[in-house]
Amino acid sequence: MRNYLQHYINGEWIDSTGNETEEVINPATEEVIGKISLGTKEDLDKAVQAAREAFPSFSQTSKEERVEMLEKIAAEYENRKQEIIDTITDELGSPVSISENVHYSMGYNHFSQAAESLKNFSFFEDRGGHFVQKDSVGVSGLITPWNFPTNQTSTKIASAFAAGSPVILKPAELTPFAAIILTEIFDKVGVPKGVFNLVNGSGSVIGDGISSHPDIDFVSFTGSGAVGQKIMENASHTIKKVALELGGKSPLVILDDADVEDAARSAVNHIANNSGQVCSAATRVLVPSSMKEAFEDAVKKVLPEYPVGDPRGDNRIGPLVSKKQWDTVQSYIEKGQEEGARLLVGGTGKPEGLETGYYAKPTVFTDVDNSMVIAQEEIFGPVTTIITYDSIDEAIEIANDTVYGLAGYVFGKDPKNLRKVAGSIRAGRVKVNDAEADFAGPFGGYKQSGIGREWGDYGIEEYLEVKTLLGFPSED
């Protein structure tokens, strides 16, 4: 049993001033695997005070010192590899291969990329008539969701450390244990006291406390649009800088010269990865009308390559994170049928033989119109939609007919068409033919998918303020 009933504040594990706790459940077994303490506003105040006290010295550390710190963190993160993989599989239910190749690996890449980006980062520029100096934003409050327990925490923390900003992290209550390991890593490598503070707790107490705290200068949030809105409202009272990474309903545009089986595999992969609980997943698959039947056949053919089941077994799709998430996904599958979409594969209920655990059937709807609820709202489960188009211009129009703009995907061969579609999708990240991730490239959304960018040098910029210096005597 993992019982973590303390918060990490000012370089020490300390008891909460309250005594409320919350159980953490393994979604594959539905068993309680531990509990965390739900922090109080008093705990948060202590963490903010520690971060404020750390700010003057940490913000003045040299770039070289912070590069060294990030490199030490990356090395110690590697030392804890197996534990990180096991922990994420237990708390989130992701298959071991995904816990390793996606979750573990993304966390590692954010720390090592931040070190690399920092080496080449310029905090002082001579721009002819003036100088620009970039200063740490101050104290940052970080609020993260459950679906990527090391990715979202690590990208925020790595960028903040690179920029010289002390932080207070509040991870999601459903998957808090990976952040405990991160905290132990920071403690082990000697991150100065007060620079990293962990306060576990609920969104309504600690999350709300962070977004409204007068001594926090910047809030970086990843999660749902509804909570993002509340955070902006709260932050407005103290004119706090806010970065938001929210949801998506990303398009995957299949061109008519694409290999139909590869394209179908790409589409299924999006809903298999992390059981579809991915903000940047493609969940609207735009297929040329002439290819529709062949594509539907190919989806049925490749689906058996993605077995659902025990994340510790040889499966590619694990359970959803919680009963609540399972219920939400079921209601969207019902909604799709009511709206007149046709179930190609999947449907409501649990896959055969998987009565225990929050398993959902990978579900593909076809004959979908882009105006349907299942094509407009984020489902956050293994559910996708097939929508047909008759010209590239129509595909672009449908792709952009959404309130979201987090990601886009194009699959095909003709470079001119690939460029046209990729360049026209209104989203922060567009991948052609399942290109590999590049952690130096910025990540973030257009429209209601958010404000700001994470990863690499753009991520570091978020944790900085820009000062113009005029008449400043230059060094000679």
Contact flag: residue 250 with ligand NAD (CB under 6 A): no
Complex with ligand NAD: residue 90 or 173, whichever CB lies closer: 173
Q: Is 332 in the site for ligand NAD (CB under 6 A)?
A: no
- Nearest-CA neighbor of 463 among 164, 116, 173? 164
Q: Which stretch binds ligand NAD (CB under 6 A): 80-88, 137-145, 177-185, 369-377?
A: 137-145
Residue nearer to ligand NAD on the CB measure, 230 or 420: 230
CB nearer to ligand NAD: give 151 or 388: 151
State both tokens at 2.
Answer: 């993992």
DSSP assignment, residue 350? P
251/412 with CB nearer ligand NAD: 251
CA gap 434, 271 in Å, rounded: 14
Binding of ligand NAD by 268 (CB under 6 A): no
Q: Are 357 and 26 in contact (CB under 8 A)?
A: no
Quick one: which segment of 34-42, 71-79, 96-104, 203-211 binds ligand NAD (CB under 6 A)? 203-211
3-state secondary structure of 475: coil
Minimum distance of ligand NAD from residue 342's CB (angstroms):
26
The closest of 311, 303, 277 to 99, measured between CA atoms, is 311
Which one of 76, 91, 173, 279 is the catalytic residue?
Answer: 279
Least gap, CB of 108 to ligand NAD (angstroms): 18
Between residues 263 and 425, which has the closer beta carbon with respect to ligand NAD?
425
Counting contacts by CB under 6 A, is residue 176 touching ligand NAD?
Answer: no
Q: Which of 91, 173, 245, 461 is catalytic?
A: 245
207 binds ligand NAD (CB under 6 A): yes
- Number of residues near ligand NAD (by CB under 6 A): 29
Q: Which helix (H) or strand (E) holds 251?
A: strand 250-254
What b/e string do you get for 42-70 counting C-beta neighbours within 10 Å, with b at 16 or more? Answer: ebbbbbbbbbbebbeebbebeeeebbebb
Q: What are phi and psi of 27, to 5 degrees?
A: -70, -15
Q: Does 224 bind ligand NAD (CB under 6 A)?
A: yes
- Find residue 346's DSSP bridge partners: none
Q: Which of 62, 204, 352, 473 forms a contact with ligand NAD (CB under 6 A)?
A: 204
231 contributes a contact to ligand NAD by CB under 6 A: yes
Q: Does 39 bind ligand NAD (CB under 6 A)?
A: no
Should residue 230 be labelled a site residue for ligand NAD when binding is judged by CB under 6 A?
yes
Q: What part of residues 66-105 is at the interface with ligand NAD (CB under 6 A)? A: none
Residue 452 binds ligand NAD (CB under 6 A): no
Q: How many whole angstroms separate alpha carbon 365 and alpha carbon 368?
A: 7
| End-to-end alpha carbon distance in the chain | 62
Asked whether the beta carbons of 36 and 18 are under 8 A apart, the reply is no
Exactly one of 24, 98, 139, 227 binds ligand NAD (CB under 6 A); that residue is 227
Q: Which helix (H) or strand (E) holds 413?
A: none
Q: How far is the CB of 38 from ligand NAD (least distance, A)?
A: 10
Which one of 98-106, 204-212, 389-397, 462-470 is the stretch in contact with ligand NAD (CB under 6 A)? 204-212
Q: C-beta of 277: minimal distance to ligand NAD in Å? A: 7
Binding mask 42-61 for ligand NAD (x = CB under 6 A): --------------------
The residue (of 220 and 363) whose beta carbon lies closer to ligand NAD is 220
Give the closest residue to 293 by CA, choosing from 184, 355, 386: 386
Q: How far is the CB of 230 from ligand NAD (least distance, A)?
A: 5
Question: To 5 degrees, how large is the angle CA 250–CA 252–CA 256?
Answer: 160
279 a catalytic residue: yes
Give me the count of residues in the chain. 476
Q: Under a CB-based contact definition with an 8 Å cutoff, are residues 250 and 284 in contact?
A: yes
Backbone angle region of 327, left / alpha / beta, with phi > 0 → left and psi within -120 to 50 → alpha: alpha
Instruction: Phi first, then psi: give them for residue 356, nearest 5 degrees.
Output: -95, 140
SS3 label, residue 55: helix
| Binding letters toward ligand NAD, positions 393-432, x by CB under 6 A | -------------x--------------------------
For the chain, what is the radius of gyration of the CA atoms?
Answer: 23
Catalytic residues: 245, 279
Q: Which residues bind ligand NAD (CB under 6 A)?
A: 143-148, 152, 170, 172-173, 203-204, 207-208, 211, 222-224, 227, 230-231, 245-247, 279, 378, 380, 406, 450
